[in-house]
Amino acid sequence: MILIRTNHDTITNYMYSFCESLVTEAESHGLHVTKIEGSGVNFRHIEKRIDKIKPSLIVFNGHGSDNSLFDNSKREFVNLKNSHIFKNSIPFIRACNALAGLGKEAVEKGCKSFIGYKSRFWLPFKHGMESRPLQDYVAEPVVGVSNAVVIELIKGKTVRDSVDKSHNETQQLAMNLLFSEDPYSRACLKALIKNDNSLGFEGNPDSKLT
């Protein structure tokens, strides 16, 4: 498993922090995790690591667009032209809009299944918790149902079943939040629903980690 994560603003810092549980989960199932971050988030370096490791699973956390992913300097480093980088792997891309264009192109270039979000990824957070993201109860459910996709893949489930797991967990949380009196519940509920409607995949639904 290769984990690529940026960390240059509040949102990416939150996602960077919440990825640690994925590392723990992967290692508990015997997977070696290669972390790529900081200045290492560039196409040439990542391409070399992928060629050497040949990972079944690639996880990216950061910002993106319909056709590209951005590095820590907000510069495009993966796009439609070099989307072959995902060939023979299952990428989980937690970035706005990437599924819409990049996902389809990656599958055409040999990606087994591309999991991501076809529109904006929403992440609410509580004011004053920016320095303690893992303690932010507003953000945690939203990231949790997203992380569920990767956790299920690590457990050996198919892409379809892993995405369905996230959908099912979202439904359960949404029902609980409907009756919550916490003032932040509305923001959390909105993000859960928006992300759930956006989450999907391109490629073979029966793909799983090898």
Give 86's pLDDT tier (boundaries 50, 70, 90).
Answer: very high
- Confidence band, pLDDT 50/70/90 cuts, at residue 190: very high
Q: What is the pLDDT of residue 196?
A: 98
Q: Quote the CA–CA distance of 9 and 130 in Å, as a whole number.
A: 10
Summarize the confidence of residues 23-40 as an average pLDDT: 97
Question: What CATH number corresponds to the domain at position 10?
Answer: 3.40.50.1460
Residue 176 lies in a domain: yes
Gap between the Cα atoms of 116 and 127, Å rounded: 27
Torsion, Cα of 10, 37, 104, 201 (10° steps):
-70
pLDDT tens digits for 169-180?
A: 999 999 999 989
Any domain includes 210: no
The reply to whether 95 falls in a domain is: yes
Listed in sequence order, the residues at least 6 apart from 144 whose beta carbon sits closer than 8 Å to its beta carbon are 169
Domain extent for 163: 2-203
Q: What is the mean pLDDT of residues 174-187?
A: 92
Nearest 5 degrees, angle CA 94-CA 30-CA 6? 25
Percent of residues, the chain, with pLDDT higher than 70: 100
Calculate the average pLDDT of the chain: 97
The pLDDT value recorded for residue 115 is 98
Tell me if the pTM is above 0.95. yes
pLDDT band at residue 204, thresholds of 50, 70 and 90? very high
Residue 128's pLDDT is 94
Each residue of 117-163: pLDDT tens digit? 999 999 999 999 999 999 999 999 999 999 999 999 999 999 999 99
Query: Domains in the chain: how many in total?
Result: 1
Question: What is the CA angle 125-127-133, rounded to 5?
Answer: 50
Phi, psi for 5 (deg, rounded to 5): -140, 135
In a domain, 208, yes or no: no
Kindly state whether residue 152 falls inside one of the protein's structural domains. yes
